[in-house]
């Protein structure tokens, strides 16, 4: 049995107000069951200040050099260009103080790094300033520059909370008690402590080679990689039916909303919650014969968006492989908007407003940014960078304009600067290739790259060469970046 702490409690009532409202439509019930009804929990965005399920567990004072913010804009970053200086260095109106870098420099092996970091309140939409470039990931919300790994842990936490506040909704509102059981190739994950007890299952297919406990690849709907080849390498395959946790077409359905009490978070963060509960169960169920310290996550297209969100939001995952994730995944919202300029209908690339309108992958909080993308105080190079220093292999597809290439290339290139700052540039790889959507008819060394990253991060082969960087477009620093990555000791 595993008790997981609540990592999104820092989202205040004000932060959750945009998430109110309910949507009603069908639900995918595969591998889905609910347990006995517990006490009714407050929905996400409830206005009661006495809701203890939203009390902060990560607001310890910590120690370090972070300044005490005053709710005013922090210092602007150096450099100039379109959109002016990065305004993200301040907490804006309603800020309650700066981020305090704590002593925990752990970036791997825990679900969410930075439990001892204080995160400022998030500015309201009307108080955000437009900024056309990709935000500086190394400037904290109070304007403090990140110069140490301990500070980066707290910046990592800030970015996580910003994504949950402005894009996805909270990952966890109520603490989860998790127990797993294994039978007939299925792992049952029982989750208690919420508005309702819930359970779901995943199929585990063990390899015929290697020694238990095995490394494993968690695939959303099984993933779209060559699973037979991975099993030949000694990697188990875990088939995660994520739509049972939350269907992409309805935020109020699935076991995520049942557990949290009608939460309004989007599907991507709900899928991340479910994946974390799978890891909890693996940690406490040796009969599964899986090594929970050697896990990878993958998915393609919409599931590629989910794979990236899962890998960013749980630092226990050793390797993340988002495939053809498009906008809402690896791609930078700002770049998508520029690349799509003047396009209408089904032409062009998918931008923020089109992504929001296609499915309920995100919370309602992101909707106002559809017509004001430059006001979003973050972009997806920061989401991608949250995976650092762990393994990350980005797979793109040149054959589909809708997915774009340049928007993901720019975000990936900017995220690579975060890996460089942490001294692990070789831990991030990128391959753009032309082939069938979500197919394995690779043409640009994708299979070789997949196997190299699997060898290094799942099979612990230190000699595996993961120096793989093959985007169609390199990062255009002059156009998108006006910050410099530090070296983080």
Asked if 260 is an active-site residue, the reply is no
Query: Residue 263 in contact with residue 11, Cβ under 8 Å?
Result: no
3-state secondary structure at position 217: strand
Asked if 301 is an active-site residue, the reply is yes
Give the helix ranges, DSSP H, for 214-301.
Answer: 227-232, 255-260, 267-283
Given 73, 224, 276, 301, the catalytic residue: 301
Q: How far is CA 410 from CA 416, 468, 476, in A?
A: 10, 16, 7
Nearest-angstrom CA–CA distance, 319 and 145:
28
Three-state SS string over the chain comes to CEEECCCCCCCCHHHHHHHCCCCCCCCCCCCEEEEEECCCCCCCCCCCCCCHHHCCCCCCCCCCCCCCCCCCCCCCCCCCCCCCCCHHHCCCCCCCCCCECCCCCCCCCCCCCCCCCECCCCCCHHHCCCCCCCCCCCECCCCCECCCHHHHHHHHHHHHHHHHHHHHCCCCCCCEEEEEEEECCEEEEEEECCCEEEEEEEEEECCCCCCCCEEEEEEECCCCCCHHHHHHCCCEEEEECHHHCCCCCCCCCCHHHHHHCCCCCCHHHHHHHHHHHHHHHHHCCHHHCEEEEEEEEEEECHHHHHHHHHHHHCCCCCEEEEECCCECCCECHHHHHHHCCCCCCCCCCCCHHHHHHHCCCCCHHHHHHHHCHHHCCCCHHHHHHCCCCCEEEEEEECCCHHHCCHHHHHHHHHHHHHHHHCCCHHHEEEEEECCCCCCCCCCCCHHHHHHHHHHHHCCCCCCCCCCCEECCCCCCHHHHCCCCCCCCC
Query: Residue 488 in contact with residue 422, Cβ under 8 Å?
Result: yes
Q: Which residues are catalytic?
A: 301, 437
């Amino acid at each position: 049995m595993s008790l997981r702490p609540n990592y999104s409690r820092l989202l205040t009532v004000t932060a959750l107000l945009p998430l109110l409202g309910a949507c009603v439509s069908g639900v995918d019930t595969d591998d889905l069951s609910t347990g006995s009804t517990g006490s009714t929990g407050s929905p996400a965005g409830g206005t009661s200040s006495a809701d203890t399920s939203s009390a902060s567990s990560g607001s310890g004072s910590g120690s370090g050099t972070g300044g005490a913010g005053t709710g005013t804009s922090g210092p602007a970053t150096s450099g100039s260009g379109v959109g002016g200086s990065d305004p993200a260095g301040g907490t804006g109106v309603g800020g309650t103080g700066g981020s305090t870098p704590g002593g925990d420099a752990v970036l791997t092996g825990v679900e969410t790094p930075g439990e001892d970091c204080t995160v400022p309140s998030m500015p309201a939409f009307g108080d955000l300033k437009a900024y056309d470039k990709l935000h500086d990931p190394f400037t904290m919300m109070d304007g403090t520059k990140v110069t140490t790994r301990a500070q980066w842990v707290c910046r990592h936490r800030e970015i996580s909370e910003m994504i949950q506040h402005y894009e996805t909704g909270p990952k966890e509102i109520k603490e989860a008690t998790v127990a797993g059981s294994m039978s007939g190739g299925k792992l049952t994950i029982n989750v208690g402590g919420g508005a309702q007890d819930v359970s779901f299952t995943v199929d585990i297919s063990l390899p015929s080679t290697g020694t238990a406990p095995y490394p494993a690849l968690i695939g959303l709907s099984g993933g779209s990689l060559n699973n037979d080849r991975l099993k030949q390498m000694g990697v188990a395959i875990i088939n995660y039916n994520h739509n049972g946790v939350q269907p992409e077409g309805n935020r109020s359905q699935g076991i995520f909303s049942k557990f949290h009490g009608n939460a309004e978070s989007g599907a991507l963060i709900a899928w991340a919650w479910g994946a974390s509960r799978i890891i909890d169960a693996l940690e406490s169920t040796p009969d599964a014969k899986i090594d929970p310290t050697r896990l990878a996550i993958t998915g393609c297209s919409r599931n590629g968006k989910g794979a990236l969100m899962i890998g960013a939001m749980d630092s226990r995952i050793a390797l993340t492989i988002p495939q053809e994730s498009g906008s809402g995944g690896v791609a930078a919202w700002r770049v998508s908007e520029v690349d799509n300029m003047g396009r209408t209908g089904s032409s062009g690339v998918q931008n923020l407003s089109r992504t929001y309108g296609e499915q309920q992958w995100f919370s309602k909080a992101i909707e106002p940014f559809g017509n004001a993308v430059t006001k979003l105080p973050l972009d997806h190079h920061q989401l991608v960078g949250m995976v650092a220093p762990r393994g990350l292999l980005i797979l793109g597809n040149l054959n589909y304009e809708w997915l774009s290439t340049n928007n993901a290339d720019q975000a990936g290139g900017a995220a690579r600067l975060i890996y460089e700052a942490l001294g692990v540039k070789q831990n991030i790889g990128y391959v753009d290739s032309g082939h069938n959507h979500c197919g394995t008819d690779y043409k640009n060394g994708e299979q070789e790259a997949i196997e190299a990253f699997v060898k290094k991060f799942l099979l612990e082969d230190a000699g595996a060469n993961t120096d793989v960087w093959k985007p169609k477009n390199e990062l255009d620093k002059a156009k998108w970046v006006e910050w410099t990555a530090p070296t983080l000791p």
